Structure formats: structure tokens, C-alpha cells
Amino acid sequence: MIDITSSKSSHPLAAYIERLKTGEALLKDSKENVLDVVGILKSYGIVLEAYYKNLIYISEHQFLVIFPFFKYFNGDVSLKKLLKHWWGDRINYEYAEYCMKGMLWHGGGALDKYLDSPEFMAYSQAAIKARFKQNPLMLGLNQLFPDYLPEQVRQQVYYSALGQFWRVMSEMFLNLSDLFDKGEIQSIPQVVDHIKNGLVAAASLPINYAVKLDGCSYDIIPASAGITFLADTAVPYVEAIFFRGTPFSGTVSYNAQAHQIPPDLTRFDYGALYADPLPVGGSGIPPTLLMQDMRHYLPDYIHDLYRDRSRRGEDDLRVQICISFQKSMFCVTTAAILGLMPYPLDSQDPADQKANQVYLEGWMDRLVTSQLIEANS
């Protein structure tokens, strides 16, 4: 466990700031942590591949479908698949939608601003009219309630944007696993470098979105909007899912008089970096769906690690997966922090060093109440 009193700085997480300054990660380097992180990210990468394909399918083929009964089937509807769906023998795509709605709710980045622009309204209205040109009832509804259908289009935009973001991350995590299998990844700093380099390489990747209706393509996010991967999807995703999150129904009271939910969304700390792994597996906890999905794709070496580490065997599996997943997300957060540093870490300019210190302290302020110390125990 890191001695958080070892640094001269007065910040409660000063030792972690010093670690970042020297190019280390928020998660300490150890063989067990490498197995934890790489193994869970391989499983996560497989699950993300399924998630992103479904999100993109919904955005492209379920555009303004009022009752999308078969949106999780990716266009392949059969009795056998329907029975498996009802039985629960499937990927839990509901978790992907939970993340999408979290991003939509919290917003952030140029994408959020674009969705409130006149340009977006013009594009969305053109697509709405094309979608319902044979449906006077819906066109009339659009006239009576002009904000309703554009809000549904905004949700479709986040289906597409999150799908495009996860497509990059899925490939990145699966490549990480391949490099580990080849012996090219052997430490936590190498894991972080792989993720950071992937984020930087994809930073300017455009996020565009168009739908085809009756053989014609209608732009929703055109290239001219200038929406990009890192600033407008990756950073808002980290903010919405890693940090803020949403209160889990049944665990806190939504009654304003109970004061259990902060009135200011910026004070939310329900994200992945703060979650207590023990409740994972409980009914109504959205991450349970993700843990359930990942358990099907665990590499043998991480399964063996769990058996050695826990005395509860398979009964403790979801909790162990959550612990590993949280460790991996601290690595992803490290990559994001280092990738967004205002100045190079090796800069000798005192002004640069001060700016970097302020920048890192700002991140650490957010992590004081997180599971960071527990993850390093």
C-alpha cells in the first residue's frame, strides 16, 4: 500500500501526484495487478465489441422506431434467439444503454453543445420529416411538441457516438491482451502507455452520424460539426461514467427532503471509480449486468487468480471481477490524465511544472473519496 504521507505536498493524495510525475500509474505495479488488469480488459474488450455493434445498429436501423421491441437482436430475429433472450441467455445490452443515458444526461464537450445548436435542429428536423413523411399523426405531434422528437434524435446521437467510442476502445483492449500473450506487456506502466498511445492516436478521429431513410442519407452529425473522438466522446465518457455516474435506484432515496442525492450534478460521485465492489451482484445495480457479461469471457489465468485470492470460490466471482475492473479503470484514468497533461512531464520550466502540479491536484481532488487507496491495498 502506498504511503500517502511520503510527499512534501500537503495534498491528501500527494504520493499519487508524485507517482504520475515520474510516469508511473495510479495503480501500483505488480505481477498480480498486471494479470488483473490485462485479463479483465480482454473480457471487457469482447463485451464492448458486442455493445458497440448493438449501439451502432440501433442508431442506424432503429432510428425513431417508437416501439423498438427487437432492438437488441441486431436485425437477426428468430424464435430460438427470442427464447434465449427471454431466458436471459444473452449479452446484457441494457448496460450499454445505461452508459449512453449517463453521457446524454451529464453532457460535456463539443458534442453536447452541438446538440443544442440551430444546425442540429435543422438536420434533425429534415430526418424527422423524412422518417414520418407517410405518417401525418407523427408529423402533427412534431408540430404540437417541437422538442419531443429532436430529443429522441439526441438520444440516437449518443447511441452512435458511444458505439464509435467503444469500437476504438474494444480494439485497443483486445490488442493489449495480444501483446501480453506475446510477452510484450509485463508492467502496469506499459499497460498505461498502450492505452495512452491508443487514445492519442485516435484523438482527432471524427465522430460523424447519418441515417439512411428510403434510400437517402441524412446527416445528423456532419463532418463540418468537427466532433472528435478524444475531446468530445472519450473525456465526456470518463466524466459521466468514471466519475459522476447516476444514483442506483433502491440504494439511495430520490426524495429531495432526504438529501441523499446532491442537487448539483458536479458533486455526483456514483461513477466506476467510487463504487464499492461488495454490492455488485445485487438486484437493481446496473454494473451487475456488465460483471455478468464479463464473467463469460475471463481468461483462464485470471480465473485461477480469483480462485487463489478468494475463499468464496465462484460465489465471489462478480465481486472479484468488479475489483479487477476498477483497477483497470484507474489505469485508463491514468492514461487520460497523462494524455491531457498541459505540459510535458520532463519540462524544466518552473511555470510548466506549476501548471502541471495544479492540473494533477485538480484530478486528485476528484479522487480523494474514490476507491484508489483500496485498489492499491
| 41-97 pLDDT tens trace | 999 999 999 999 999 999 999 999 989 999 999 988 888 888 888 888 889 999 999
How big is the CA angle at 103 (ends 241 and 290), to the nearest 5 degrees? 45
Element (H, E) at 193: helix 188-201
Paired with 129 in beta bridges are: none
What one-character DSSP code corresponds to residue 342? Answer: S
Predicted model pTM? 0.92
Q: What is the pLDDT of residues 83-119, one digit of tens each?
A: 888 888 889 999 999 999 999 999 989 999 999 999 9
Q: What is the pLDDT of residues 135-150, one digit of tens each?
A: 999 999 999 999 999 9
Max alpha carbon distance in the chain (Å)?
70
- In 3D space, the residue among 235, 271, 301, 225 whose CA is nearest the CA of residue 370 turns out to be 271
What is the rounded CA–CA span in Å between residue 271 and residue 273? 6
How crowded is residue 66: how many other Cβ atoms within 10 Å of its Cβ?
8
% residues pLDDT > 90 (the chain):
68
Mean pLDDT within 206-227: 95
pLDDT score recorded for residue 87: 85
What is the rounded CA–CA span in Å between residue 219 and residue 371? 42
What is the rounded CA–CA span in Å between residue 45 and residue 50? 9
CB 233 within 8 A of CB 157: no
176 against 346, higher pLDDT: 176
Going by pLDDT thresholds of 50, 70 and 90, the confidence category of residue 7 is very low
Q: What is the pLDDT of residues 304-337, one digit of tens each?
A: 888 888 777 667 788 899 999 999 999 999 999 9
Domain locations in the chain as residue ranges:
29-66+92-340
- Residue where the block lists cell 438529501: 259
